[in-house]
């Protein structure tokens, strides 16, 4: 029973750090602003950086807030498939926030009990193993991100609505695949930092 509790508690902490890393990344707009300039997106699609960022803000607000039910980007029309895909992404965003809140409470009480009982040391070995997960994923990103990107979409979406056509969903020209690679890298980098911090904390 103790092993099960420890495993569930550790799983909650891992999911908390992961969902937090995702939440930080999807709301870290400076990353997108940097990529817009770095990849010369305004010059490529003929729309100013300010307009692109404003439309991106509208998109992120739609994905973040459940009370925004319709996506209307003034400078980027969307097809029915495109809107459907963004609706699915919105569901994943909200699911991430739900997991973040629930596992946040569970992690707080789990670590609090461990500290109170002087048993934080029990997390040293598990966290040492978990630290390798982001490293492996980062390695996969660098050797074959295209395949990882496809696998991710096949895993979380049971349709091909994510395969945008720039003629009907021009927003895809403002969202290069390399930007998503940078997002993946940031997520796993934050996850690695969180797991490493937990490992150091458990050793104290």
Distance of alpha carbon 67 from the chain centroid:
21
Neighbouring residues of 140: CB distance < 8 A, sequence distance ≥ 6: 148
Answer whether residue 201 shows pLDDT above 90.
no
**112: number of Cβ within 10 Å:** 10
Least confident of 1-15, 65-79, 174-188: 1-15
The string of pLDDT tens digits covering residues 15-31 is 999 999 999 999 999 99
Task: Please state the φ and ψ torsions of residue 76, each to the nearest 5 degrees.
Answer: -135, 95
Note the pTM of the prediction, 2 decimals. Answer: 0.93
Buried b / exposed e along 85-96 (16+ C-beta atoms within 10 A):
bbebbbeebeeb
Say if CB 20 and CB 100 are below 8 A apart.
Answer: yes
Neighbouring residues of 186: CB distance < 8 A, sequence distance ≥ 6: 21, 24, 25, 28, 31
Residue 11: the pLDDT is: 92
Higher pLDDT, 18 or 5: 18
Answer whether residue 4 shows pLDDT above 90.
no
The string of pLDDT tens digits covering residues 104-141 is 999 999 999 888 888 888 788 888 889 888 898 888 88
Answer whether residue 204 shows pLDDT above 80.
no
């Amino acid at each position: 029973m103790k092993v099960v509790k420890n495993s569930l508690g550790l799983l909650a902490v891992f999911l908390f750090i992961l969902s937090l890393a995702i939440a930080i990344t999807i709301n870290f707009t400076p990353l997108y602003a940097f990529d817009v300039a770095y990849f010369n997106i305004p010059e490529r699609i003929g729309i100013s950086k300010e307009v692109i960022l404003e439309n991106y803000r509208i998109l992120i607000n739609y994905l973040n807030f459940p009370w925004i039910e319709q996506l209307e980007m003034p400078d980027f029309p969307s097809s029915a498939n495109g809107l459907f895909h963004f609706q699915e992404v919105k569901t994943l965003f909200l699911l991430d926030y739900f997991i973040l809140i629930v596992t946040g409470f569970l992690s707080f009480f789990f670590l609090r009990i461990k500290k109170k009982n002087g048993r934080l040391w029990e997390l040293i070995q598990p966290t040492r193993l978990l630290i390798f997960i982001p490293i492996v994923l980062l390695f996969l990103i660098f050797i074959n991100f295209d395949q990882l990107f496809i696998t991710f979409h096949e895993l979380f979406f049971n349709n091909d609505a994510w395969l945008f056509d720039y003629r009907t969903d021009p927003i895809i020209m403002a969202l290069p695949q390399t930007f998503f690679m940078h997002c993946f890298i940031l997520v796993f980098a934050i996850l690695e930092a969180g797991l490493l911090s937990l490992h150091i904390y458990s050793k104290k």
